[in-house]
Amino acid sequence: MGLFHKVQIYGDSILKGIELDHSESYIVPKESGWQFLEEEYPLAIVNRAKFGCTVTKGLEQLSRALDRGLSCDAVVLEYGGNDCDYRWAEISQNPKGEHLPNTPLPEFMEKCRKMISLLQNNGILPIVMSLPPIDAQRYFHWFCRGGLDENAILDWLGGDIQTIYRHQEMYSNALCRVAMESHAPLVDVRTPFLASKNCRDLLCADGIHPNREGHRLIGEVFGEFAARHLQPA
């Protein structure tokens, strides 16, 4: 892996740094989670991550940037949280119907491969991030709180709320597999989350976004990655 200094981030709300405040509104804290990396290492980081972004939107965003002459040494890629999600209101209304995630897994993997390949072909290092785990119980009650039929959705889930967790984990595992097959470096944030004594303490009330401590842990993992590959400033 060659040296890199100019880094851009493409992903969703996780790497955007979004969390819930005390009024349960989504916010981006004023302090940047990437600032300490720029201070510690010779890095210039531009965050292009967007709330609600899927790999489909991310591929379009990256393709436009490359067409305009994207100038950086490395790009961090983080997708899957929105891709693996479902339209829960539709499931609530029709639990006996067939429902697909926002991006079915084969399509998700193919578009991840495409993003990595585009970057490699343009001489830019792709760095893939695994997904933090979610709290399925919290998330289930979060998206049902507006009046969705919990029993109908639970029936569609096969009677097990943890189906949501396993489905999200499948997308994270797929990311890791694509990174390995594409020879792209992986920043594994999922393992440190799971290794913590109580992973729930690292997540917001919605069960899917890291809280301040969770984002701090993600920053530490990226710091360890930088320490292995970069010299301090």
* pLDDT number for residue 3: 63
- Within 10 Å of residue 158's Cβ, how many Cβ atoms? 9
229 exposed, middle or buried (CB, 10 Å; 0-12, 13-18, 19+)? middle
* pLDDT number for residue 233: 56
Name the band, by pLDDT with cuts 50, 70 and 90, for residue 32. Answer: low
Top-confidence residue, 127 or 36:
127
Contacts of 207 (CB under 8 A, 6+ apart): 134, 135, 136, 137, 138, 139, 140, 142
CB 134 within 8 A of CB 82: no
Name the band, by pLDDT with cuts 50, 70 and 90, for residue 24. Answer: confident
The continuous run of DSSP H or E covering 120 comes out as: helix 105-121
Q: How far is CA 229 from the centre of its chain?
A: 22
CB 230 within 8 A of CB 201: no
Tell me the pTM: 0.93
Q: Which of 49-53, 139-143, 163-167, 197-201 has the lowest mean pLDDT?
A: 197-201
